[in-house]
Amino acid sequence: MKLDNATARKITRDGLLSVLLYIAPIVLMFASFQIFGYRPWEGANEFPFKAPAFIENVFKNLSSWGLPVIVLVLGVIEFAAGLYENKWTKNERTLDIVCFIVPKLVIRPFVAYFGLKFLPVVLPDAKNILDWVPFWWAFLIIAVADDLTQYWYHRLHHQLPWLWRFHRTHHSAPYMGMAMASRQNVIYTLFFSQTYLTVALTYLGLGYAALFVKVIKSFITTGAHSSIPWDKPFYEKKWLQPIGWVLERLISTPATHHAHHADTSDDGVGYYKGNFGNMFFLWDIIFGTGIITRKYPTSYGIKHYHEEEWYAQFMWPIFKSKKEGSELSQNGPMVGDAVPNEETVTLKPDTTVAVA
């Protein structure tokens, strides 16, 4: 399966635009310094930010054990309310639990520990070198850098067929719920940028802002995967609709992200070939890869799902599936994220649909 020329050109064009988006917060920060005669790197930090101690403790606890506990509680509520519709089989349940636990208890602590051991060796003079950056500017710079990078990481795993199988696990479940936020192949997780970025920023002196970005982003992405349609009132109640209009274009919501997990795009609601945004849906608006319908798909997953063994989905290509014809089996076909139609695969072009 080859990448068509139109998609390749769009990726190149959007990549160049992304460079400008990456540097925009930095340019704006130094422009504001110039306008106000502000030189924080000289020790004249007139606008320091420090949250009250109890708020800081809340964020630290959320980052360590608090957020997983919240996700587990909400997951129990979803399950008790029947929101998984009896589709949470033993294989699916095992996969979701392993994907939830291993990154938090093994991968991220491992990267953090050895990262903070490695950085002083290769960059001995860089420790806390950026601690002069004002909190809100640091927050904006990190939020853009982190989420835009993840947008591209996510998008390329859909648009480059040879990468799809590393992301396929995230889309295989025929349901939506809190557990979906962390349901990923281990290779996809290992190369995920956020863990490395947070470690590096902490070493450079921006750990406080990085912590806030991490926690807020976790809330948004977890909420976007939830089977609880918390965004529905913003579309149905007239006095909330102006807020909803901004909200659905700024961040990922259940309506926009559920569309990305639909198993078809034929109903005008599902759109697995777009809506790639994680924390910010704004990237999909800018790059024309988004669709907004304010509706929720009726079915999820991938049409060509073989219900592969949890270990194959979690650790492909280290472990292969025994299911014949599966993408994850030995010498399995590479079909990409599109739905196979006999022997051909049709790629839907990127479009942008917005509601008034």
3-state secondary structure the chain: CCCCHHHHHHHHHHHHHHHHHHHHHHHHHHHHHHHHCCCHHHCCCCCCCCCCHHHHHHHHHHHHHHHHHHHHHHHHHHHHCCCCCCCCCHHHHHHHHHHHHHHHHHHHHHHHHHHHHHHHHHCCCCCCCCCCCCHHHHHHHHHHHHHHHHHHHHHHHHHCHHHHHHHHHHHHCCCCCHHHHHCCCHHHHHCCHHHHHHHHHHHHCCHHHHHHHHHHHHHHHHHHHCCCCCCHHHHHCHHHHHHHHHHHHHECCHHHHHHHCECCCCCCCCCCCCCCCCCECHHHHHHCCCECCCCCCCCECCCCCCCCCHHHHHHCCCCCECCCCCCCECCCCCCCCCCEECCEECCCCCCCECCC
Distance of CA 206 to the CA centre of its chain: 21
Give the pairing type, strands 340-341 and 344-345. Answer: antiparallel
Any domain includes 51: yes
Residues 99, 141: Cα–Cα separation, whole Å: 29
Q: Residue 321's beta-bridge partner residues?
A: 329
127, 200 contact by CB (below 8 A):
no
Amino acid at residue number 287: F
Any domain includes 262: yes
If you average pLDDT over residues 123-135, what whole number do you get? 87
If you average pLDDT over residues 199-210, what whole number do you get? 84
Tens digits of per-residue pLDDT, 100-122?
A: 888 877 888 888 888 888 888 98
Tens digits of per-residue pLDDT, 308-336?
A: 999 999 999 999 999 888 889 888 888 77
Check whether 135 has a pLDDT greater than 80: yes
Q: Would you tell me how many other CB atoms lie within 10 Å of the CB of residue 152?
A: 19
Tens digits of per-residue pLDDT, 149-197?
A: 999 999 999 988 889 999 999 999 888 887 788 899 999 998 876 778 8
Sequence-ordered list of residues with C-beta below 8 angstroms from that of 257, at least 6 positions apart, any chain: 224, 225, 275, 277
Of 260, 259, 99, 76, nearest to 181 by C-alpha is 99
Separation of first and last alpha carbons in the chain: 37
Any domain includes 123: yes
Burial of 243-272, coded b for 16+ CB within 10 Å and e otherwise, reads: ebbebbbebbbbbbbbbbbbbbbeeebbbb
Q: How far is CA 354 from CA 42, 92, 268, 288, in A?
A: 47, 34, 12, 10
- Please name the residue that has the structure tokens 């930095």: 26
Q: Which two tokens stand for residue 45?
A: 């930090």
Any domain includes 155: yes
Q: What is the structure's pLDDT at 71? A: 55
Residues 258, 1: Cα–Cα separation, whole Å: 26
Full residue range of the structural domain in which residue 304 is found: 5-345
Torsion of CA 11, 17, 23, 24, to 10 degrees: -140
Residues 250, 277: Cα–Cα separation, whole Å: 10
Any domain includes 350: no
Q: Would you tell me how many other CB atoms lie within 10 Å of the CB of residue 54?
A: 7
Average pLDDT, the chain: 82
Residues 353, 356: Cα–Cα separation, whole Å: 10
Q: What is the structure's pLDDT at 114? A: 84
Instruction: Please tell me the pTM assigned to this model.
Output: 0.83
Number of domains making up the chain: 1
Any domain includes 143: yes
Q: Would you tell me how many other CB atoms lie within 10 Å of the CB of residue 288?
A: 13
Question: Using alpha carbons only, how large is the chain's radius of gyration in Å?
Answer: 21
Phi, psi (degrees; rounded to nearest 5) at 162? -70, -15
Most confident of 37-51, 122-136, 242-256: 242-256
| pLDDT > 90 in the chain, percent | 37
Any domain includes 352: no
Any domain includes 232: yes
Tens digits of per-residue pLDDT, 61-103?
A: 655 555 556 556 655 555 555 455 566 788 988 998 898 888 8
